Amino acid sequence: MRYFIPGSSARQEIFSRDVEAGTAASTSPREKLPRQEHAMDEQAIREVIEGHAAALGTGQVKDILRYYADDAVQFTLAPPLRQPASAQDPEPLEHWLATFEQPPTLEVTALEITAGPEVAFASSLHCMRGIPKGQSEAFDLWHRVTHGLRKIEGTWLITHEHQSVPFEMDGSFRASLDLKP
């Protein structure tokens, strides 16, 4: 099949034939990474997200923080609206972990990744399980997480983290903490 565009040049006709044959070189800004490289990036990003979750369960702050870029921006479940400290400052994380009998665990589900050559984002549902200090029963807290990542010196790092739970739109504005996927 030939594509004719009014006022088209021979070059456009050749390009059209190449598109149909699958041999055209893309000049689109949305040009995809070669499949193998793209799959490797997606796997590396998956390892960052899942590695971060596994590190949380160990309670080793240094291991948890290694998944973040130095200038990462964090919007976590805990106040304030935006975490003011550097993502590499261990103190807020140490303080939070100390509120549990043992480090909480984090299960990552429904992970979806969109990756370009140097920037990516991932969205997922996480279930945090833990026992608060002084309590005997564990809780399960399902929440939404979106990560922005950048490839920095060949390594994918979290540069943006947003965690949230929905709230009731009935005027009570209560957090919907009992939702499960």
Residue 143's nearest CA partner among 161, 131, 119, 160 is 161
Residue-level pLDDT at 78: 85
Residue-level pLDDT at 96: 94
Residue boundaries of the structural domains of the chain:
33-164
Phi and psi at residue 175, in whole multiples of 5°?
Answer: -65, 140
The shares of helix, strand and coil residues in the chain, as percent rounded to the nearest 5, are 25, 35, 40
Q: Measured between alpha carbons, how far is 129 from 140 in angstroms, rounded to an integer?
A: 5
Residue-level pLDDT at 101: 98
The mean pLDDT values, 10 residues at a time, for the chain of 181 residues are: 43 45 49 74 97 98 96 90 81 94 98 97 98 97 98 98 96 93 92
Residue-level pLDDT at 32: 55
pLDDT, tens digit (0-9, with 9 covering 90-100), for 63-88: 999 999 999 999 999 888 888 777 78
Residue-level pLDDT at 21: 53
Using an 8 Å Cβ cutoff, are 104 and 56 in contact?
Answer: yes
Q: Measured between alpha carbons, how far is 158 from 119 in angstroms, rounded to an integer?
A: 10
Q: How far is CA 115 from the centre of its chain?
A: 10
The CATH number for 33-164, chosen from 3.10.450.50, 3.40.605.10, 3.30.1950.10, 3.10.105.10, is 3.10.450.50
